Amino acid sequence: MGQIVAYIESYLGSDKTPGAAGNMFWVLVYIMLVFGGLSVAVIAMNWLERKILAHMQVRLGPMRVGPHGLLQPIADAIKLLLKEDIMPAEADGLIFWVAPFVVVLAAFTVFVVVPFGPTHAITDMNIGILFMLGVSSLSVLGIVMAGWASNSHYPLIGALRSSAQMVSYEVAMGLAVVSAVLMTSLNETGTGTLSMIGIVQAQMAQQEWFIFKFFPLGLIAFFIFAVAMVAETNRAPFDLAEAESELTAGFHTEYSGFRWSLFFLAEYSAMIAVSSIAVTLWLGGWLRPFPNLHGPSISIPHYWPPVDPTAPTGALDLVFSLFPGVTFLLFAAMCFFNTARMPKHPLFKIQTMGLAGFGVVLGLIGLALFVPPIRDRVEDIFWFSAKVAGFMYLYIWYRGTFPRYRFDQLMQMGWKVLLPMGLGVLILTASVALLQPMIWHP
Amino acid sequence: MTDSNTLSHLDLETPEKPFLDANELVINMGPQHPATHGVLRVILRLDGEKVLGLECVIGYLHRGVEKIGEHRTYTMFNPYVDRMDYVAAVSNGLGYCETVEKLLNVEAPPRAQHVRVILTELNRIASHQLWLGTHALDIGAITPLFYTFRDREEILKIYEKYCGARLTTHAFRIGGLQYETYTGFEKEVKNFLTFFRPKIDEYEELLTTNRIWVERTKNVGTISAQDCIALGVTGPVLRASGVKWDLRKAQPYANYKNFDFDIPIGENGDTYDRYLVRMAEMRQSVRIIEQAVDALPEGPIIAKVPKVMKPAAGEVYHSIEAPKGELGYFIVSDGSTQPYRVRVRPPSFVNLQALDLMCRGQLVADVIAVIGTLDIVLGEVDR
Amino acid sequence: MAPVATPFFFYLLSGIMLIGGILVITRKNPVHSALALIVTLLAQASIYLMLYAPFVAGVQIILYAGGIMVLFLFVIMLVSIDRSVRERQFNSQWVVGLIAATALGGLFIAVYTKGKDIFPEHAMPVVENDNTQKIATMLYGQYMFAFEIASLLLLVAIIGAVVMAKKKI
């Protein structure tokens, strides 16, 4: 018994991820946390998408199921679980059954290396980014299998188109990623790293987010990746293969109920995954804005002892460390404000109480985030999640604003526009990096 | 390989060829399809992704309106015409009432004609708004639909206050109007104009310079001016191909000659030009309404029309510029209270003929854009 | 990180590879064969990981399983498979095939028993951290010429494929 406790405690205070440290218990704990967090994130994304899209379209979105539709995703999940499970008559049973699982597996396995903080990842592979790109390309197989197993030519055509689109934009994504990885090698040893945590640490060491590096090259590489990742996840404006008004109805036509919700889950997880790649590579991962600026050094009163006593502390550190707590308190304030605006009808009593309760929970989380031990551990996760949330908002914004590209225009853009741009950025980045003698030692 | 320029008859009798044979594929679209704007069935003949030809099968909404007209008196038939182009019901009513007035040789008093112009131009704006929303939705932009429908509500509120109905308004009577304009009519119309003018800019901001929109609509569904005239295509489709022909200026009716407005035309006759032409038409309609509302004369609202209408035997054809094109009525009277024949020339029916020509050589995804840009309403195609 | 339960994982992955390989050649439906091949390739990538070559494993997953096999599946799905499903699985030359397989197997066994001594007893402790760097230094340093020739070959293949598939230039 004591041995087990010692095993558990041996990891605490380490400066490596549990996978790298070899501690199985904490690996499992982290897996549970990431899996749970991802599921909550997907549910939240569902609600956010409907609400934000509705507000952009001058309407309200779900308002009935729970206060302001907050319970709508749960209602949707229950509905999908209760639906009849249909399998087409001539469909290939085994493949039909396996396809959604392959897509979900590919989408979820990717999160093994996503770094929420310097030690807050399940593991830190030294080929982290390569692993992420590789596993997310396995989801293409799942889509092809799904289209094939439906035994109907519209889903087949839709699946083949979806997968052709994903494979084409993977090339552009890869080139943009290589440009960013190239920038990690601008250090004393001259070697870069493919590890996700290493990439963020390189940005910290070079005191510059890679999106601003070698301006405008970092920005163009980021732009290429940002466009390619929207095409990779089959979202608007590149969602021809699953649009309703087109002739081919998409690879998940024949799937209903739980199986369809697996595809849906995988789509949102893939969106979060590629946004995580973009955030890690270009936007500094878990680093707060201006990570090396500490501002005037202030002596923070001792009832706020820092986790690492040797780290420099300044006024800006204090200001930025208040952000997580303040954000949650803002959410709580919005909840309370909307509680006050709820109609005063007896039928709305439960909803009003629910919303107030939700606001209380958010407020308590916000207050807890002011407590220094919690705050310091959660700060990195907060900044990472905030940046990924920004990308999610962009996804929803694109869906509300842009018309759809036609398939041949889509492929043309992937091969004739993004690929040459990616190659150009890569060559220019390498050239500029070579011409910086003070950083690069042969 | 058939020459794609000949209008060869689609061969649907030969036994089924293997799927994805490299040469030809016959695909059926509709009648239940989210993008065919009603119950339209389109049979496409494809070579891979390219359209070699198509055939429209219509009649799913045929209700026998013209036959019904032979068994109703002229006044009783008036509500039926709204149901043909149900999106622009007021224009239908205007056309019919003016045709019968021609047959009876009466003229509506000036006040009635002014109010008719106001309501018809409001109807043009409403019809174009619905067109814009659904067309953008087909191409993938899901937001303009909500904006245009929200703004269309204001027009429908005016109609509801005037005649009690939003969609099938039955606003006009033979000889003029039945209802006097309600108190505050001018003020509300003026408020609507001030409300609506920046909205057109809002729609244009979302779409006109959006590179995805431009790529999806430029050089898609091009039709030349000669082809338009040869097929009898009218309306914004004709004007976008470069022909400056608008019945409000060419054969003026309902005191349109008193108003000052332009006829927007396009250059290439592609979908983008049709979009620009309709947006400009909305602006011109605002101009017309502005002038009409300021100069509303006093006077009677209906002319002296006999209670039992027995027009002299004869025939008359009268057409107006409906939002979708030339809407014509050909009424043959045999001297009795019921017409001998009512024949409607719906603009969408004639424009739909051009679909085959416009889709040749386009990709399948463009067919949907072209159907949207023709602005057809199956109610008037099938009657 | 120290390796964990190496024999277990090795036997498991090799077993998966073997079963996948047998399924590739015995399935009637070509789509099933392609999927079994994908399973085999993924197991192979895991074995590369066990050999401390993470870069090769990653590239195997991206290119082979995620790229080449997808193209295989495209071709299989677009070509009508009704005929091949009804084809006889084992053709009439099975006698010659059996003799050839036995001869090849004998050859392998002879090579192994004769040359057993050159195989090391245990796996060399290899640092896995710089697998990528080592490959990069060799590829762009020592084998630069071969690298460029290979990329030229691929370019020629792409142009050839485009020329053959286009209807008109």
A12-21, B318-327, C22-31, C65-74: range with highest mean pLDDT: B318-327
d(CA C169, CA C162): 9
Report the residue of B1, B17, B20, B21 to disrupt the C interface, i.e. the one with the largest count of C CBs within 10 Å. Answer: B20
User: CB–CB of B212 and A405 under 8 A?
Assistant: yes
Q: Which residues make Cβ contacts (< 8 Å) with residue B356, sequence separation at least 6?
A: B7, B53, B54, B55, B56
User: CB–CB of A134 and C2 under 8 A?
Assistant: no
In chain A, residues with a C-beta closer than 8 Å to the C-beta of C67 are: 137, 167
SS3 B71: coil
Query: Does some domain include residue A152?
Result: yes
Smallest CA–CA separation between B147 and chain A, in Å?
7
Q: How many domains does chain C have?
A: 2
Q: How many domains does chain A have?
A: 1
Query: Does some domain include residue C168?
Result: yes
Nearest CB to A245; choose among B35, B206, B212 = B35
Dihedral pair phi/psi, residue B299, rounded to 5°: 140, -175
Rounded mean pLDDT of B11-27?
59
d(CA A245, CA B138): 6
Query: Does some domain include residue C116?
Result: no
User: CB–CB of C67 and A137 under 8 A?
Assistant: yes
Asked which of C69, C87, C105 is the last residue of a domain, the reply is: C87
B18 shares contact with chain C (CB less than 8 Å): yes
CA angle B366, B368, B369 (to 5 degrees): 65
Structure confidence at residue B189 (pLDDT): 92
Smallest CA–CA separation between C82 and chain B, in Å?
11
d(CA A268, CA A285): 20
d(CA A106, CA A91): 23
DSSP assignment of A173-188: HHHHHHHHHHHTT-SS
ipTM: 0.83
Structure confidence at residue A298 (pLDDT): 65
Query: Does some domain include residue C104?
Result: no
- Residue whose C-alpha is closest to residue B7's, from B58, B49, B48, B56: B56
Q: Considering only alpha carbons, which residue of chain A is nearest residue B203?
A: A401
d(CA B146, CA B133): 7
User: CB–CB of A236 and B29 under 8 A?
Assistant: no
Summary mean pLDDT of chain B: 87
Instruction: Find residues 20-39 of chain A whose CB sits inside 8 Å of chain C.
Output: 20-22
Taking only Cα atoms into account, the Rg of chain B, rounded to an integer number of angstroms, comes to 21
Query: Does some domain include residue C97?
Result: no
B20 shares contact with chain C (CB less than 8 Å): yes
User: CB–CB of A244 and B364 under 8 A?
Assistant: no
Query: Does some domain include residue A352?
Result: no
User: CB–CB of A138 and C65 under 8 A?
Assistant: yes
Q: Enter the tokens of residue A127.
A: 């080929």
pLDDT in tens, B51-105: 888 888 998 889 999 999 899 999 999 999 988 888 889 999 999 999 999 988 8
A92 shares contact with chain C (CB less than 8 Å): yes
Rounded mean pLDDT of B252-261?
88
Nearest CB to A137; choose among C57, C62, C77 = C62
Q: Which residues make Cβ contacts (< 8 Å) with residue C119, sequence separation at least 6?
A: none
Rounded mean pLDDT of B17-40?
70
Instruction: Find residues 120-159 of chain A whose CB sits inside 8 Å of chain C.
Output: 125-127, 130-131, 133-135, 137-138, 140-141, 144-145, 148, 156
In chain A, residues with a C-beta closer than 8 Å to the C-beta of C132 are: 126-127, 194
| Cβ pairs A/C, distance under 8 A | 74
Instruction: Find residues 362-401 of chain A whose CB sits inside 8 Å of chain C.
Output: none
Helix (H) or strand (E) holding B81: helix B74-82
Which domain does C36 fall in, by range? Answer: 1-87
- Residue whose C-alpha is closest to residue A246's, from A234, A258, A255, A263: A234
In chain A, residues with a C-beta closer than 8 Å to the C-beta of B146 are: 57-59
d(CA A281, CA A179): 10
pLDDT in tens, C81-124: 555 555 665 667 788 888 999 999 999 998 888 877 777 766 66
Question: What length is written for chain A?
Answer: 442
C74 shares contact with chain A (CB less than 8 Å): yes
% of chain B with per-residue pLDDT over 90? 40
Rounded mean pLDDT of B207-232?
90
Query: Does some domain include residue A199?
Result: yes
Query: Does some domain include residue C1?
Result: yes
User: CB–CB of B19 and C80 under 8 A?
Assistant: yes
Structure confidence at residue B237 (pLDDT): 92
In chain B, residues with a C-beta closer than 8 Å to the C-beta of C81 are: none
Query: Does some domain include residue C103?
Result: no
B1 shares contact with chain C (CB less than 8 Å): no
Q: Considering only alpha carbons, which residue of chain A is nearest residue B140?
A: A403
Report the residue of A58, A244, A406, A408 to disrupt the B interface, i.e. the one with the largest count of B CBs within 10 Å. Answer: A406
d(CA B281, CA B263): 7
Indicate if the pLDDT at residue B121 is higher than 50. yes
Query: Does some domain include residue A146?
Result: yes
In chain A, residues with a C-beta closer than 8 Å to the C-beta of B141 are: 401-404
Terminal-residue alpha carbon distance, chain A: 54
Smallest CA–CA separation between C34 and chain B, in Å?
21
In chain B, residues with a C-beta closer than 8 Å to the C-beta of A161 are: none
Query: Does some domain include residue A347?
Result: no
pLDDT tens, per residue, chain A with 442 residues: 777 777 777 777 667 777 777 778 888 888 999 999 999 999 999 999 999 999 999 899 898 888 888 899 999 989 988 888 887 777 777 888 888 888 999 999 999 999 988 888 888 888 889 999 999 888 888 888 888 887 777 777 788 888 888 989 999 999 999 999 988 888 777 778 888 888 888 888 888 888 888 888 889 999 999 999 999 988 878 887 766 556 566 777 777 788 888 888 999 999 999 999 999 999 988 888 877 766 666 655 444 445 555 566 677 777 888 888 899 999 999 999 988 888 888 888 888 888 999 999 999 999 888 887 777 778 888 999 999 999 999 999 999 899 888 888 889 998 999 999 999 999 999 888 888 765 544 4
pLDDT in tens, C113-160: 887 777 776 666 666 677 788 888 888 889 999 999 999 999 999 999
Indicate if the pLDDT at residue C50 is higher than 70. yes
d(CA A178, CA A172): 10
In chain A, residues with a C-beta closer than 8 Å to the C-beta of C64 are: none
Instruction: Find residues 119-158 of chain C whose CB sits inside 8 Å of chain A.
Output: 128-133
Asked which of C36, C69, C87 is the last residue of a domain, the reply is: C87
A420 shares contact with chain C (CB less than 8 Å): no
Query: Does C18 or A246 have the greater pLDDT score?
Result: C18
In chain A, residues with a C-beta closer than 8 Å to the C-beta of B138 are: 245
The 8-class DSSP code of residue B326 comes to E
Is the same domain home to C77 and C10?
yes
Which domain does A201 fall in, by range? Answer: 2-287+409-440
pLDDT in tens, A352-396: 888 999 999 999 999 888 887 777 778 888 999 999 999 999 999
How many other C-beta atoms can be found within 10 angstroms of the C-beta atom of residue B279? 18
A173 shares contact with chain C (CB less than 8 Å): no
Query: Does some domain include residue A344?
Result: no
Confidence of residue B36 (pLDDT cuts 50, 70, 90): low
Query: Does A304 or B160 have the greater pLDDT score?
Result: B160
Nearest CB to A130; choose among C35, C58, C65 = C58
Is the same domain home to C82 and C5?
yes
User: CB–CB of C78 and B18 under 8 A?
Assistant: no
- Residue whose C-alpha is closest to residue B170's, from B73, B107, B76: B76
Nearest CB to A409; choose among B34, B49, B215 = B215
Structure confidence at residue B305 (pLDDT): 87
Confidence of residue B171 (pLDDT cuts 50, 70, 90): confident
Contact call for residues A317 and A152 (beta carbons, < 8 A): no
User: CB–CB of A156 and C77 under 8 A?
Assistant: yes
Locus of tokens 């990431």: A34
Is the same domain home to C57 and C136?
no
Tell me the HSE value of A287 on the side-chain side, using a 13 A CA sphere. Answer: 27
In chain C, residues with a C-beta closer than 8 Å to the C-beta of A18 are: none
Smallest CA–CA separation between B366 and chain A, in Å?
8
Query: Does some domain include residue C48?
Result: yes
Smallest CA–CA separation between C1 and chain A, in Å?
6
Query: Does some domain include residue C124?
Result: no
For residue C62, the domain's CATH number is 1.20.120.1200
d(CA B10, CA C121): 74
Rounded mean pLDDT of B193-202?
92
Smallest CA–CA separation between B346 and chain A, in Å?
26
Nearest CB to C70; choose among A135, A163, A194 = A163
Query: Does some domain include residue A294?
Result: no
% of chain B with per-residue pLDDT over 70? 93
C163 shares contact with chain A (CB less than 8 Å): no
Helix (H) or strand (E) holding A75: helix A72-82
Structure confidence at residue B4 (pLDDT): 43
In chain B, residues with a C-beta closer than 8 Å to the C-beta of A247 are: 27, 29, 364-365, 368
Subunits with 3+ Cβ pairs within 8 Å of B are A, C
Long-range contacts of A340-346 (CB under 8 A, 24+ apart): A342/A67
Query: Does some domain include residue A375?
Result: no
Subunits with 3+ Cβ pairs within 8 Å of C are A, B
CA angle A389, A35, A166 (to 5 degrees): 65
Q: Enter the tokens of residue A255.
A: 């799937």
In chain A, residues with a C-beta closer than 8 Å to the C-beta of B366 are: 406
Smallest CA–CA separation between C90 and chain A, in Å?
23
Is the same domain home to C7 and C82?
yes
In chain B, residues with a C-beta closer than 8 Å to the C-beta of C80 are: 18-20
Rounded mean pLDDT of C14-30?
90
Dihedral pair phi/psi, residue B12, rounded to 5°: -105, 5
Structure confidence at residue B19 (pLDDT): 47
